[in-house]
Chains A and B, each alone.
Chain A
Amino acid sequence: MKQIKDSFTLDRLGAGKKAFVRGFTAEGPVMQRLMQLGVLEGSEVEIIRAAPGGDPIEIRVMGYCLSLRKAEAQMIQVEVIG
């Protein structure tokens, strides 16, 4: 059983880290788009890498890779999988 450790927003996670999405800090069209792309409660996300300068970041979700900016990642609450 994977252990759930901390509650974070996604932008604070380093490369290689995995987490479950727990919710969003803000509602609106961006959240809707994220959810439609598979970033929603219960989804497992993995940070793959950051672009030069640390922003945007690339994550894996639902078996594909998605890039998003840190500002968008900040809206996503996650629980780190230890």
Chain B
Amino acid sequence: MTKTGQPVIALIGNPNTGKSTLFNILTGLKQKIGNYPGVTVEKHLGQLQLDDLEVQLIDLPGTYSLSAQSPDEMVVIDVLRGAIDDIGKPDLILIVIDASNLRRNLYLVSQLLELGQPVVVALNMMDLAVENGIHIDVDQLAQELGVPVVPIVASSGEGIDNLKKVLRQSLEKKAIPSLNLLPEIKQAAIKLATKLRREGIEIPSYELERALIDEEGYAEHRLAESHDNPVLEQIRQLRKKLSHGPSLSVQDARTRYGWINRLVDTIEVDEPETAKKSLTEYIDQFVSHPVYGSIFFLLLMAIVFQSVFAWATPLMDWMDHITTTAGKWLEAHLPPGALTSLLVDGVIAGVGSVIIFLPQILILFAFIIFLEDSGYMARAAFMMDRPMRAVGLSGRSFIPMLSSFACAVPGIMATRTISDPRDRLATMLAAPFMTCSARLPVYALLIAAFVPQKTWFWGLINLQGLVLLALYLLGILGGVTTALLLKRSVLKGPTPTFLMEMPPYRLPSLRSVLLKLWERAQIFLRRAGTVIFTVAILIWALAYFPHPVSIHNQFEQQRVEIQRQGNVVETRITELNNQEAAAYLEQSFLGRIGKAIAPVFKPLGWDWKVSAAVVASFPAREVVIAVLGTIYAVGSDVDEEDSSLITRIKSSTWPDGTTIFTVPMAIGLMIFYAFCLQCAATVAIIRRETGTWTIPLLSWLYMTSLGYIGALLVYQIWS
């Protein structure tokens, strides 16, 4: 029950049982996503209406058993026990099981029935079971389990009303199931808990039971961390006493499957196995084929990327147009001054430059969610496992890495599917190296300016494209090397397992895809609304203040001069305005920082203007274009194909007349952008996912140093 007295239902189940589909159906858009303290598991809460009763529903991460091997898996036990502060102990456990895969699903059921809490079983995918020739005696199953069993088809909504009715009844009845498959172990755990309590150590007996059974598991690990060794020693002794031959974990698994096999034999009637192949088998013959499957995979990735860039461009242009128009409108209708500048140049331009990536992120996530829900993702991980292992990771790291090509933020969020903590961290730190869409405008500008338009093979291959490809490969190389180094040194450890279910293919429901997409959009927008917002204002303030009146007066004089001459030349006025903006920027704090820091970047061939632009783009790398635009005084409203900006930066010189933007300097600058972690959103998301500032800060230092050294080497050796 929650603190306010609202009943709580915990939703649990194996992965791929349609659990999140059911959660979405039951709660609709009334969902809240948060994080459990100290772990990287997302906390999904939703409101479920049972007639007049409003219930809080918690969606727990998919799990095959209650034997936790990591802090993330332990969350399930903690929630069920009511050990998470702000949730409260569940009044009822709703477990979703896959009717077409009854035996493995019943394993978790057998563990839940022993918790001493009311349980309701939702028997999902009844349609698939019937299709596979499996007939289940639902009434008999309910009788054997001693809890209500409700057949449903979550994807079509069948049986949901009935499920709600049963949930409502069960919340009132509070009937506790009475399964006890390993009474000797449970008894021993209870006795130990009582004994410890007398000694002043409060440990729930279920946690002791898990520690007893799951040798080397997380429950044991946590006891070792938080209590004195005597507790651990007692667990070990007890374990030795209880195991008559095989270890407790073996006894546990054997006993449960023994019970399951006897149970299933009484309630399930399989039709005599027909020679008919399932649809999944047909699809897999092609899709998981070593040769055709690999080709299919490459094609699919090509289509995904093509779409992310091709489909997103019009949307991004449109969003860009809206933010620019909004900015211009405000500028025209508000009195000039610091506040208007804050709104237009700080808030709208700053946040707008990040929001603009929303289309790409959404399109990429639409693909990822579709591939995941359809069952293909497991096949992709299966195929990519060996190549990914070459760099010390597993097939599961592939999708997060791939997502990072659009944006490292969703990529890092996607590392949640990696069960091994070391692998997850290595992937998280390698992901920001992938060429994200924010790097693209920077590359586009510099390539357009400094790489000649040479083509070969009737225009099929061109030099500019090759340079872009090289930059992509450089990012991959950086990420892969980082992962490899990490896994060989600080993140060294036993190779994690690759035990992964290959779920049958199914067509994801549009509703479910859209809901998940909405979730991702919210997380991204919230990020843009907080961190990016703050940082945008900070950079604006640095670039705006102190804003002395003397500059205004000086330019105003010239403007008046021109107007007095009578022949008002619009372009001349614009030029003056731009020069004024540049003069302001030069004496602003940002300009001063640029000048102060310029000696550091001098060996890279950068002057104070480039240095200031790079400094300003640390919160969001694509900002560099806008800042360069202002500094080079063509007005801050420029985009990468603005030839005037290209012309300006090309013709800018050092005081002695030599060109600043030489080819080695530009290549160095691109390499700097390829490596450097200039993204507040990424730093913030790493902080959120790891729960510490140390890792994002180390990552930032490492990537920035790498960018600096790369640019330095290229510039010094080449020129």
Which residues of chain A have a CB within 8 Å of any CB of chain B?
27-38, 40-41, 48-53, 55-56, 58, 62-69, 71-72
Given contacts A67-B500, A72-B498, contact A35 B249 (CB under 8 A): yes
**Contact check: which of B65, B284, B385, B501 meets A36 at CB < 8 Å?**
B65
Q: Contact: B382 with A37, CB < 8 Å?
A: no
Q: Contact: B215 with A58, CB < 8 Å?
A: no
For the complex, is B502 an interface residue (Cβ under 8 Å from A)?
yes
Q: Contact: B495 with A53, CB < 8 Å?
A: no
Question: CA separation between A49 and B67, bound complex, in Å?
Answer: 29
Min Cβ gap A15→B in Å is: 11
Given contacts A32-B214, A51-B382, A63-B101, 14 further A-B contacts (CB under 8 A): A28-B216, A33-B64, A36-B67, A40-B257, A48-B284, A58-B502, A62-B101, A63-B103, A64-B104, A65-B501, A66-B499, A67-B382, A69-B497, A72-B497
Q: Contact: A71 with B499, CB < 8 Å?
A: no
Min Cβ gap A18→B in Å is: 13
Question: CA separation between A62 and B257, bound complex, in Å?
Answer: 11
The interface residues of chain B lying within 8 Å CB-to-CB of A28 are 215-216
Q: Contact: A64 with B101, CB < 8 Å?
A: yes
21 A-B pairs with CB atoms under 8 Å apart are A29-B216, A29-B217, A32-B214, A33-B67, A33-B499, A36-B65, A36-B253, A37-B64, A37-B501, A38-B104, A38-B107, A51-B382, A52-B293, A56-B386, A56-B395, A58-B502, A62-B103, A65-B501, A65-B503, A66-B499, A72-B499
Closest B residue, CB atoms, query A55: B386
Count A/B pairs, Cβ under 8 Å.
112
**Contact check: which of B107, B247, B253, B288 meets A58 at CB < 8 Å?**
B288
The interface residues of chain B lying within 8 Å CB-to-CB of A53 are 386
Question: CA separation between A52 and B257, bound complex, in Å?
Answer: 33
Question: CA separation between A72 and B107, bound complex, in Å?
Answer: 21
Min Cβ gap A43→B in Å is: 8
Q: Contact: A56 with B498, CB < 8 Å?
A: yes
Q: Mark B375-400, 1 if CB is under 8 A from A, else 0.
A: 00010001101100000000100000
**Contact check: which of A29, A31, A35, A40 meets B69 at CB < 8 Å?**
A29
Q: Contact: A33 with B250, CB < 8 Å?
A: no
In the A-B complex, list the 10 residue pairs whose CB atoms are closest, starting with the nearest: A35-B253, A65-B502, A32-B249, A52-B290, A53-B386, A36-B65, A69-B498, A62-B103, A67-B500, A64-B101
Q: Contact: B215 with A29, CB < 8 Å?
A: yes
The interface residues of chain A lying within 8 Å CB-to-CB of B101 are 62-64
Counting chain A CB atoms within 10 Å of each CB, which of B101, B250, B254, B501 scores highest? Answer: B250
The interface residues of chain A lying within 8 Å CB-to-CB of B293 are 52
Q: Please report which residues of chain B, range 242-297, place their CB below 8 angstroms from some CB of chain A when the two chains form the complex.
A: 247, 249-250, 253-254, 257, 284, 288, 290-291, 293-294
**Contact check: which of A41, A52, A66 meets B254 at CB < 8 Å?**
A41
**Contact check: which of B65, B214, B247, B502 meets A67 at CB < 8 Å?**
B502
Question: CA separation between A48 and B599, bound complex, in Å?
Answer: 63
The interface residues of chain B lying within 8 Å CB-to-CB of A51 are 288, 290, 382-383, 385-386
Given contacts A28-B215, A29-B217, A56-B382, contact A36 B107 (CB under 8 A): yes
Closest A residue, CB atoms, query B498: A69
The interface residues of chain A lying within 8 Å CB-to-CB of B499 are 30, 33-34, 37, 66-68, 72
**Contact check: which of B249, B395, B502 meets A66 at CB < 8 Å?**
B502
Q: Contact: B64 with A66, CB < 8 Å?
A: no
Q: Contact: A64 with B501, CB < 8 Å?
A: yes
Which residues of chain B have a CB within 8 Å of any CB of chain A?
64-65, 67, 69, 100-101, 103-104, 107, 214-217, 247, 249-250, 253-254, 257, 284, 288, 290-291, 293-294, 378, 382-383, 385-386, 395, 495, 497-503
The interface residues of chain A lying within 8 Å CB-to-CB of B249 are 31-32, 35
The interface residues of chain A lying within 8 Å CB-to-CB of B216 are 28-29
**Contact check: which of A27, A38, A69 meets B257 at CB < 8 Å?**
A38
Given contacts A38-B104, A62-B103, contact A52 B497 (CB under 8 A): no
The interface residues of chain B lying within 8 Å CB-to-CB of A62 are 101, 103-104
Min Cβ gap B7→A in Å is: 30
Question: CA separation between A36 and B439, bound complex, in Å?
Answer: 45
Counting chain B CB atoms within 10 Å of each CB, which of A31, A58, A65 scores highest? Answer: A65
The interface residues of chain A lying within 8 Å CB-to-CB of B250 are 27, 31-32, 35
The interface residues of chain B lying within 8 Å CB-to-CB of A52 are 290-291, 293-294, 383, 386
Given contacts A64-B101, A65-B502, contact A33 B497 (CB under 8 A): yes
Q: Contact: A38 with B103, CB < 8 Å?
A: yes
The interface residues of chain B lying within 8 Å CB-to-CB of A56 are 382, 385-386, 395, 498
The interface residues of chain A lying within 8 Å CB-to-CB of B386 are 51-53, 55-56
Min Cβ gap A59→B in Å is: 9
Min Cβ gap B411→A in Å is: 23
**Contact check: which of A41, A48, A49, A68 meets B497 at CB < 8 Å?**
A68
Question: CA separation between A45 and B322, bound complex, in Å?
Answer: 59
The interface residues of chain B lying within 8 Å CB-to-CB of A33 are 64, 67, 69, 497, 499
Min Cβ gap B420→A in Å is: 12
Closest B residue, CB atoms, query A72: B497
Question: CA separation between A36 and B250, bound complex, in Å?
Answer: 9
Min Cβ gap B657→A in Å is: 58
Question: CA separation between A27 and B239, bound complex, in Å?
Answer: 15
Closest B residue, CB atoms, query A27: B247
The interface residues of chain A lying within 8 Å CB-to-CB of B257 are 35, 38, 40
Min Cβ gap A78→B in Å is: 17
Question: CA separation between A30 and B420, bound complex, in Å?
Answer: 13
The interface residues of chain B lying within 8 Å CB-to-CB of A66 are 499-502
Q: Contact: A40 with B215, CB < 8 Å?
A: no
Min Cβ gap B558→A in Å is: 69
Min Cβ gap A71→B in Å is: 7
The interface residues of chain A lying within 8 Å CB-to-CB of B253 are 32, 35-36, 40
Min Cβ gap B217→A in Å is: 6
Question: CA separation between A4 and B6, bound complex, in Å?
Answer: 58
Min Cβ gap B495→A in Å is: 7
Min Cβ gap A67→B in Å is: 5
Closest A residue, CB atoms, query B383: A51
The interface residues of chain B lying within 8 Å CB-to-CB of A38 are 103-104, 107, 257
Question: CA separation between A7 and B386, bound complex, in Å?
Answer: 27
Min Cβ gap A61→B in Å is: 8
Min Cβ gap B642→A in Å is: 46
The interface residues of chain B lying within 8 Å CB-to-CB of A34 are 499
Min Cβ gap B391→A in Å is: 15
Closest B residue, CB atoms, query A36: B65
The interface residues of chain B lying within 8 Å CB-to-CB of A36 are 64-65, 67, 107, 253
Question: CA separation between A33 and B216, bound complex, in Å?
Answer: 12
Question: CA separation between A48 and B378, bound complex, in Å?
Answer: 15
The interface residues of chain B lying within 8 Å CB-to-CB of A63 are 100-101, 103-104
Min Cβ gap B64→A in Å is: 6
The interface residues of chain A lying within 8 Å CB-to-CB of B217 are 29, 32
The interface residues of chain B lying within 8 Å CB-to-CB of A27 are 247, 250
Min Cβ gap B423→A in Å is: 13
The interface residues of chain A lying within 8 Å CB-to-CB of B290 are 50-52
Min Cβ gap B258→A in Å is: 10
Closest B residue, CB atoms, query A59: B502
